[in-house]
Amino acid sequence: MKKFVAIAVEIVSAFAFVLSCTVGSASAALSVVSANTSDALTRRGYVLVQSGTFKPAVAVLKNAVQLNPNDVNARRYLSYALMQLGDYINAEGQLKAISKIGTLTAADYYLSGSINVRMGNNDRALQEYRSALQLEPEMPAARVGIIE
């Protein structure tokens, strides 16, 4: 069990790669961030998440969600930042909000699995990692996440 938790926690950084595939590079995101629109705030929040400054990212991404509650990317990045800060309940809450807006992606299921590992809900984490693999069978992070 300890091996499972250690591996799952270590691979959370792989989620940053998944996030980068959604928005693009940090430098590209920085170049377009000037207005306080939901999209601009989401890009700014993404850059902050990518740089590991999670508290400021949470503030920016909460503003983005307030401007556009249907901004799935803002909610996804907010969930990740909240998880990194140990706010697992609100991190899961963002994923639940995404599921009400549309369909969860493999990255969302992976993130939920990572949150559940940190909460000690290992059975639920395995279920979430398996859901990620159903959508994206070659997802390396989810494959590693189910190793015990």
- The CA distances from residue 5 to 27, 98, 115, in Å, are 33, 26, 11
How many whole angstroms separate alpha carbon 142 and alpha carbon 61?
25
* Percentage, residues of the chain above pLDDT 90: 65
pLDDT of 125 > 80? The answer is yes
How many whole angstroms separate alpha carbon 34 and alpha carbon 81?
22
Q: What is the pLDDT of residue 141?
A: 74
pLDDT digits (tens, 9 = 90+) for 16-75: 444 544 444 444 444 444 468 999 999 999 999 999 999 999 999 999 999 999 999 999
How many whole angstroms separate alpha carbon 26 and alpha carbon 6?
28
What confidence category does residue 95 fall into, taking pLDDT thresholds of 50, 70 and 90?
very high
Higher pLDDT, 102 or 143: 102
Higher pLDDT, 137 or 139: 137
* 115-135 per-residue burial string, b: 16 or more CB within 10 A, e: under 16: bbbbbebbebbbbbbebbbeb
How many whole angstroms separate alpha carbon 123 and alpha carbon 145?
12
pLDDT of 14 > 60? The answer is no
What confidence category does residue 15 fall into, taking pLDDT thresholds of 50, 70 and 90?
low
Instruction: Indicate the pTM of the whole model.
Output: 0.76
